[in-house]
């Protein structure tokens, strides 16, 4: 118990500061969405299990009555243990590439539309990451005590940027090749 990926993520978020379940999901959505996701349906049961296991404790918030979850000493230790375990590889499932592999069934036009849509998603991703980068840098300027933490955050943003730029470069190549395939068909 207290072993899942969700529990790892929840403990990690609580290491920043005690918060509500709702705010955990907020942070995951706003800061980690490029490489992580959680739903309420996972977070609340995870919080219950973690509390059960003595890894977190709950105190009612000062002004609001909402439940603030914070790490216990055991929780902090368990978090370090989990972080030290090798990351579990996500099972790959890329619907765009699956369709492209069987591309002669759909034909070059439909494939080009898929690739174009993927390219646009990556461009949006890149813009989002630029905004996130600006936010994090502003935060660093505002609170220099967080400087170390924000350097790690920027590493994850850079990873997203590299990936998005690669996806865009590939998409351009693929669109050229697909145009060529279509020209060949109509010859």
Q: Torsion-angle region of residue 107: left (phi > 0), alpha (psi -120 to 50) or beta?
A: left
* Interacting positions 124-183 with a copy of itself (CB under 8 A): 148-149, 151-153, 155-156, 158-159, 162-163, 165-167, 169-170, 173-174, 177-178, 181
Cα separation of 30 and 158, whole Å?
Answer: 16
Q: Per the structure block, which two tokens stand in for 35?
A: 């490489």
Please tell me the total number of residues recorded for the chain in this structure.
Answer: 187
Task: Note whether 136 and 157 are within 8 A (CB).
Answer: yes
Report what 80 binds from a copy of itself, DNA, none; CB cut-off 5-8 Å by kind: a copy of itself
Shortest approach of a copy of itself to residue 103 CB, angstroms?
4
User: Of these, 17, 26, 35, 138, which contacts a copy of itself (CB under 8 A)?
Assistant: 35
For 42, left (φ over 0), alpha (ψ -120 to 50), or beta? alpha
> Footprint of DNA on this chain (CB under 7 A)?
3-6, 20-23, 26, 37-42, 44-45, 47-48, 61, 63-67, 91, 93
Q: Could you tell me the two tokens for 182?
A: 């279509």
Give residues in contact with a copy of itself (CB under 8 A): 5, 8-9, 12, 15, 31-37, 79-80, 83-84, 86-106, 110-111, 114, 117, 148-149, 151-153, 155-156, 158-159, 162-163, 165-167, 169-170, 173-174, 177-178, 181
């Amino acid at each position: 118990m207290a072993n899942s990926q969700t529990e790892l993520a929840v403990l990690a978020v609580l290491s920043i500061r005690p918060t509500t379940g709702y705010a955990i999901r907020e942070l995951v959505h706003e800061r980690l969405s490029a490489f992580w996701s959680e739903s309420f349906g996972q977070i609340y049961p995870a919080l219950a299990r973690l509390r059960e296991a003595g890894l977190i404790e709950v105190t009612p918030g000062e002004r609001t009555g909402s439940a603030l979850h914070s790490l216990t000493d055991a929780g902090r230790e368990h978090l370090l243990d989990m972080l030290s375990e090798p990351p579990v590889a996500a099972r790959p499932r890329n619907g765009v590439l699956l369709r492209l592999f069987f591309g002669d069934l759909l034909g070059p036009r439909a494939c080009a539309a898929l690739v174009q849509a993927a390219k646009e998603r990556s461009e949006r991703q890149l813009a989002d990451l630029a905004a996130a980068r600006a936010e994090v840098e502003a935060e660093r300027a505002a609170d220099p005590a967080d400087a170390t933490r924000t350097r790690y955050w920027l590493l994850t943003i850079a990873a997203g940027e590299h990936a998005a730029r690669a996806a865009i470069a590939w998409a351009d190549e693929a669109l050229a090749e697909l145009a060529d395939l279509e020209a060949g068909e109509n010859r």
